[in-house]
Chain A
Amino acid sequence: MNSSFLHFSSITKKVWMALLGLFLMVFLVVHLGINLCLLRDDGGRWFRDAAHFMGTNYIIKVFEVILFGGFILHVLIGIILQIKNWFSRPVRYKISNKTTTPFLSKYMIYTGAIVLTFLIIHLFNFYFIKYGWVTSPVSPLEGGEPDFAAVARSLFGQPVYSAIYIVLIICLGFHLYHAFQSGFQTLGLDHKTYTPYITGFGIFYSIVIPLGFIIIPIYFLI
């Protein structure tokens, strides 16, 4: 590999942004799979087992580091690119642009910021409890391990929390709607036959995944 690969041009930054974004999208599927265990009427046993596995398996722990590193890099590169974009047009137009473009594609930085806010709230509600940085709102399990199933049940039982959660997940869907196809375009993976399928799958993914997450608070509320 050429050493100049380390020189970050605009396209290099965007390629990293795309790769990390697509990786995070794979993680979302895993996360949703675990969350859906909450819908099983077993007192949260499956969910607790999955949370225990994710918290103790060494391979998962390695991926956890990659995941956090990837997320931080995705956010940082996004901010760096956006700042450059703002500086590229120091004098704005008097009339805002009337060109017809996909609506959500213009607001990726804003939907991204909302997703970041959501993640921070989410970390405080669940992840930090694991390390004892935040006190669990419910009693731990025997052996002192946090009862994440009970935490989830307690949070989703609050209508205000659930409503905020649903709104934030919808914003995640807006972010994903443009992200999937855009990631492939950035990686140069454009093909007259396959690109419509990639775009279609991106739309499907951005609807189904958020819908999967939204079902859970609705289940606990009704």
Chain B
Amino acid sequence: MKLTLKIWKQQDAHSKGKFVTYSLDSISPNCSFLEMLDILNEQLIRKNEEPVAFDHDCREGICGTCSLYINGRPHGPDDAITTCQLHMRKFKDGDTIIIEPWRAKPFPVVKDLIVDRAAFDKIIQEGGYISVNTGGAAEANQILVSKVNAELSMDAAACIGCGACVAACKNASAMLFVSAKVSHFALLPQGKIEAKDRVKKMVAMMDQLGFGNCTNTYACEAECPKLISRSNIARMNREFICAKVS
């Protein structure tokens, strides 16, 4: 495959960025998107040019590190996958691919396509945990959990914090991410003890960091690689209202 890449290049958060055009030849359709960028970088290094900086780690859709906005979609032109799971067969020979970093005020650009997603860590630190004494594992049936709630909680826990929800949302809202974290705990008896404080603190931090407000367009749900449901947002709203009025 022959490709033209237009990639956002930016030295750091304070520098002005610009798009740089690269041409690539002989790319296999079986290549993953990140492997295609690896090939580009190898060629750039050989030419003594600066390679493109991009985030990646596990390369199997688990860690949520890869974060590219490809041709107008977070994680590119496929559903329910991360960028590392995207393959070049999703593109056509001769295509022009425009790659941008996540754009949101709380996600400043570190370099080129890498953004700082520490904002998510700050939200997690506000309540994405339960306070229990460590020790030996308790007997499994000591605290009973309904099958339905266990499944819903596991679905919410599937969130890998990649930030595609923020990147896709027209308002750069983090409601899907925060609601997944809130739901994950709120659905389980162990999480109910701190539920009120958790939702209030996490929402307050989300607001403080400068994420936008949810207008229920559900772009977050459409682009989530882990198919986190919008019903988590409704659950968080419910949890928040109950926490505030009780």
A residues at B contact (CB < 8 Å): 1-2, 4-5, 9-15, 81, 84-85, 87-102, 105-106, 108, 178, 181-182, 185-190, 192
**Contact between chains at A85 and B69 (CB < 8 Å):** no
Residues in chain A near residue B244, CB distance under 8 A: 2, 4-5, 12
Q: How far is the CA of A84 from the CA of B173 in the complex (A)?
A: 10
Please, what's the 1-or-0 string for B202-214, where 1 marks a CB less than 8 Å from any CB in chain A?
0110110011111
The interface on chain B, measured as residues whose beta carbon lies within 8 A of the other chain's beta carbons, has a size of: 50
Residues in chain A near residue B77, CB distance under 8 A: 98
Residues in chain A near residue B215, CB distance under 8 A: 81, 85, 105, 108, 182
Q: How far is the CA of A119 from the CA of B45 in the complex (A)?
A: 62
CB-based closest 4 A-B pairs: A188-B238, A190-B234, A88-B212, A98-B72
B66-112 residues at the A interface, CB under 8 angstroms: 69, 71-74, 77, 98, 100, 103-106
Q: How far is the CA of A13 from the CA of B222 in the complex (A)?
A: 25
**Contact between chains at A94 and B19 (CB < 8 Å):** yes
Q: How far is the CA of A11 from the CA of B216 in the complex (A)?
A: 12
Within 8 Å of chain A (Cβ to Cβ): is B3?
no
**Contact between chains at B230 and A15 (CB < 8 Å):** no
Residues in chain B near residue A178, CB distance under 8 A: 216
B residues at A contact (CB < 8 Å): 8, 19, 69, 71-74, 77, 98, 100, 103-106, 168, 170-173, 200, 203-204, 206-207, 210-219, 222-223, 230-231, 233-241, 244-246
Q: Give, as a whole number of angstroms, the nearest-CB distance from A82 to chain B.
A: 8
Q: How far is the CA of A190 from the CA of B239 in the complex (A)?
A: 12
- Which of B19, B72, B216 has the most chain A CB atoms inside 10 A of its CB? B216
**Contact between chains at A9 and B212 (CB < 8 Å):** no
Q: Give, as a whole number of angstroms, the nearest-CB distance from B10 to chain A.
A: 10
Partner of A105, one of B98, B216, B246: B216
Residues in chain A near residue B104, CB distance under 8 A: 88-89
- Select from chain A the residue with minimum beta-carbon distance to B204: A9
Q: How far is the CA of A15 from the CA of B106 in the complex (A)?
A: 24
**Contact between chains at A190 and B203 (CB < 8 Å):** no
- What are 5 A-B pairs with beta-carbon distances under 8 A? A10-B214, A11-B203, A105-B216, A185-B230, A190-B235
Residues in chain A near residue B204, CB distance under 8 A: 9
- Select from chain A the residue with minimum beta-carbon distance to B70: A95
Residues in chain B near residue A96, CB distance under 8 A: 72
- Which of A5, A96, A99, A105 has the most chain B CB atoms inside 10 A of its CB? A99
Q: Give, as a whole number of angstroms, the nearest-CB distance from B53 to chain A.
A: 17
Partner of B171, one of A88, A100, A192: A88
Q: How far is the CA of A81 from the CA of B230 in the complex (A)?
A: 20
Q: How far is the CA of A12 from the CA of B245 in the complex (A)?
A: 11
Residues in chain B near residue A11, CB distance under 8 A: 203, 236-237, 240-241
